[in-house]
Amino acid sequence: MGSLGAKGVATVAIAAAIGGWLAAQTSRGASAHEPRFPQLTLDQLTPAQRPLGEKIVKISSVGLAGPYNPMIRSPEMAQRMYDLLDYLRWHTSVPTRLNEFAILIQGRLWRSQVEWYAHYPLAIRAGLSEAVAADLKANRRPAAMKPDEAAVYDFCMELSTQRAVSDQTFARAKDVLGEQGVVDLTALTGTYVTVAMLLSMAEEGVPPGKEPPFKPGD
């Protein structure tokens, strides 16, 4: 979701936030039960985990928290997932605005607090309108979508909810994104289902003191 130049700019901003996130995650009070995966810090990583951990904290808006906290327990899988996410975030053929929109769609479908928390500001910064994001968050088909956004929304929603894509919806997506873009969008959609599953399984939440995007009943 961005160019190499944008990645460099984002890395500087992200690095400043990592320390606070990790400190808050480590020092949070006791919850109803012990965390399924206690929050790891760089100092706690094994030799097998450390090289990837150092890469993660350079690019992740949540440091080693979020999906990375459970993922790194399986360092070889996590490395392969990291490489896939690196492509899908920074080198994909799908424009950043549409890429982030597709991630938010999965965040809404899965009611994934961390996915929405992490990617909403990125989507707005990439040019997605706040009105479109607000409708999506409210579980409505956004009313003010641009034609390319509507093509992505319909493609992702059909694939996710109907387990199929109609010829008309496929043709619209292909017209907007091309063949490679449709494949990249599909891979992104499936990968962020996996990310949402990891977050749900591990009961990972937003940083302490931050409001979860979705309230009970949303």
Q: Would residue 192 count as lying in a domain?
A: yes
Q: How many domains does the chain have?
A: 2
Q: Would residue 213 count as lying in a domain?
A: no
Residues 129, 64 within the same domain: no
Give the domain range for residue 33. Answer: 4-91
Q: Would residue 216 count as lying in a domain?
A: no
Per-block average pLDDT, block size 10, for the chain (218 residues)? Answer: 42 39 39 85 96 92 90 97 96 98 98 96 98 98 98 98 98 98 98 98 92 93
Residues 86, 125 within the same domain: no
Q: Would residue 212 count as lying in a domain?
A: no
pTM value surpassing 0.95: no
Cβ neighbours for 72, distance < 8 A, ≥ 6 positions apart: 40, 45, 49, 52, 53, 56, 64, 78
Residues 12, 81 within the same domain: yes
CATH code: domain of residue 100: 1.20.1290.10
Residues 80, 104 within the same domain: no
CA distance 57 to 15: 7
